[in-house]
A and B are shown apart, each in its own frame.
Chain A
Amino acid sequence: DSGVTQTPKHLITATGQRVTLRCSPRSGDLSVYWYQQSLDQGLQFLIQYYNGEERAKGNILERFSAQQFPDLHSELNLSSLELGDSALYFCASSVSSGEQETQYFGPGTRLLVL
């Protein structure tokens, strides 16, 4: 158990809908990262927050957005969902921010768009 929690574990929805994925980082961790794992794209970095502020952006679509709240939990919002958004979405956290920091991953949320 990494100490990172993600809810829900599974999500099934229809095209055009909007969903929110939630992540609680390990106690004391200030950085939260979101990654998408799909069969065709592999594991891709989406976005990072550090202590409530956006720190870095990766291959995140404009239909997707995220935020980190004062209690440091984070939410990833996916809207106007398409079939191709079906994937496993991971959240990770680290104590601070830096290339030597270890990122601890949650169990993921599996999203299926029908």
Chain B
Amino acid sequence: GNSVTQMEGPVTLSEEAFLTINCTYTATGYPSLFWYVQYPGEGLQLLLKATKADDKGSNKGFEATYRKETTSFHLEKGSVQVSDSAVYFCALSVVPNTDKLIFGTGTRLQVFP
């Protein structure tokens, strides 16, 4: 079946550190891949997406590259800020099963000054 595996959190970093949150997926077909972010007390916001192999999604300094050969979509940021503290969800969507989003378990990021 289709699934997403994310690294366990929390990830604790100092401000300006480099961030990687690992995400791997299993999918039948050709999924689109997404990263969503959930700030404390808020809903989910789309951070970035990639719809085909080798695509790179980027937004607000975050990047992720769709790697078909390793079935991965790792999230990276060169220099994190305290305001990046949130829970990050990797997700996939694949038709023709349905276009529902299948989420990973989420990774909590805590950034300290």
Contacts and interface: CB of A to CB of B under 8 A. Distances in A.
A37 to B, nearest CB: 9
Interface residues of B, number: 25
A45 B42 contact: no
A56 B22 CA distance: 29
Main secondary structure of the interface of B (DSSP, over half): strand
A103 B91 CA distance: 11
B65 interface: no
Given A42-B106, A43-B89, A43-B106, A99 B43 contact: no
Contacts of A55: 98
B105 interface: yes
Contact of B100 (A2, A33, A106): A33
Contacts of B31: 99
Contact of A56 (B30, B32, B46, B98): B98
B17 interface: no
The residue among A2, A35, A42, A103 with the most chain B CB atoms within 10 A of its own CB is A103
A39 to B, nearest CB: 11
Interface residues of A, number: 25
B38 to A, nearest CB: 9
The residue among A2, A43, A45, A98 with the most chain B CB atoms within 10 A of its own CB is A43
Contacts of A103: 46, 101
Nearest to A6: B43
Nearest to B94: A99
A56 B100 contact: yes
Contacts of B30: 99
A44 B89 CA distance: 12
Interface of B: 30-32, 34, 36, 42-46, 49, 51, 89, 93-95, 98-106
